[in-house]
Copies of this chain bind each other. A is one copy, B any other.
Amino acid sequence: MEIASDESIDVSTFEWPAGFYADAGHAGLKADANVDDFGWLVSKTPADAAGVYTTNQFQAAPTALTKQTINLAHQLQAVVMNSGNANSCTGVQGEHDAAVMQQAAADKLGIAANLVGVASTGVIGEVLPVDKITNGIAKLGLTKNDGVTKAVLTTDTHAKTITVKCLIDNQPVTISGFCKGSGMIHPNMATMLGFVTTDAVIAGDQLQHLLSTTVDQTFNQITVDGDTSTNDMVVVMANGQAGNQPLNADHEDYPTFVKAFKLVLSHLAKEIAGDGEGASKLVEVNVTGAYSDHEGQQVAKAIVGSNLVKAMIFGEDANWGRVMQAIGQTDAHVDLNGVGVAINGIQMVTNSLAADYSEEAVAATLKKNVVTIDVDLHAGTAAGTAWGCDLTYKYVQINASYRS
């Protein structure tokens, strides 16, 4: 767990911010009747909202509908979601089913359909059994339980949640997030769904700007397998129950809120990377000496995304040439004779040549569950970070039989 260094920011146990409710249930999308497979997230009042969405050309129907809904007025009051079926590559039928799901939630809540977001994740290309979901929605309530954070999971091994509190106008503000991974994780969102709620007062356009900027440094810097899903999105709702002065660049506590918000997203991103399909280790790559932040991020992600680097980390084999190879594959500025590479603090490469390191010490450190690779490109003063995981037998196993 990352500890916020700012004393005005606290990580606490998960809870919903003021005025947010949730619930979950089993609709029958997953075979096991003991596993919840749908749920919702509801604000007592319409909330300012923002979203970011997959760049995959085949955008799934629920993702497209939510984008369209948020773009109307940057307002949402609820999000209804399911796992077990992605409602993707389902054509006109899929668009219809997503709209039916949206309307059913709106009817149950007595609000307008254009205040309801929809999210689905699971197998692509199968028609959504939407009747099961509408039947389920009829039974959902407004509770403070966190069942929906589990109901949205697919191959994830555990729920991914965080609650951060900070002081804005000397009053407590809560930001809570949850998400699901854990394959098709790569640039531009991958099969991940992320939901962030806060009771802060912040206008929709300001929230959109903050979300887009922060996603570029967090969710877009993780990779599990280089594949980008059709369904990804991150949605944020701010219902204003905290009653602070509206947050924007002129508010003296805005930096605190930005920091707390980034902590929520980076925690969730790292949780996804560390729980990548079949992963046994979390890998963090920190690039310094980059020509620009963009290039620092690009190189960090190239390293963490290399199958050869990932397999080497699974094998606990310090074959640093693969890190060099991954750097060299990019078109980033690199001092070809000046690169440094350290693994868990042990310097392995200096001036692009093997450093004088102990094979035993390296072998020992690679047994850890977290592997940090620090790279100095010696080409500037900018930096970038990316997160991923190792490539394991289990990744292959999971993805060789995903539908079975």
Contacts and interface: CB of A to CB of B under 8 A. Distances in A.
Given A227-B307, A319-B403, A393-B393, A56 B354 contact: no
A186 B134 CA distance: 47
Assembly of this chain: how many copies?
Answer: 2
B319 A123 contact: yes
Interface string A30-53: 000000000000000000000000
A314 B396 contact: yes
Given A230-B324, A353-B89, A393-B396, A317 B225 contact: no
B58 A328 contact: yes
A90 interface: yes
A155 B332 CA distance: 30
B315 A86 contact: no
B396 A325 contact: no
A392 B399 contact: no
Given A321-B86, A337-B91, A403-B319, A226 B314 contact: no
Interface range on chain A: under 10, 10 to 19, 20 to 34, or 35 or more?
Answer: 35 or more
A322 interface: yes
B308 A225 contact: yes
Interface in A308-331: 308, 311-312, 314-317, 319-322, 324-331
Nearest to A354: B125
B225 A402 contact: no
B228 A308 contact: no
A391 to B, nearest CB: 6
Main secondary structure, interface of A, reads loop
Contact of A400 (B306, B317, B334): B317
Nearest to A332: B57
B311 A227 contact: no
B325 A401 contact: no
A183 interface: yes
A154 to B, nearest CB: 13
A404 interface: yes
Interface in A58-106: 58-59, 86, 88-91
A2 to B, nearest CB: 28
B325 A56 contact: yes
A18 interface: no
Given A124-B324, A317-B400, 14 more contacts: A56-B329, A58-B325, A123-B321, A124-B319, A184-B325, A225-B308, A227-B308, A227-B325, A229-B325, A307-B395, A311-B400, A391-B396, A393-B396, A396-B396
Interface of A: 55-59, 86, 88-91, 123-126, 183-184, 225-230, 306-308, 311-312, 314-317, 319-322, 324-331, 334, 336-337, 349, 351-354, 391-393, 395-404
12 contacts: A56-B328, A58-B324, A58-B336, A89-B324, A124-B324, A125-B324, A226-B306, A311-B399, A312-B402, A391-B399, A393-B396, A396-B396
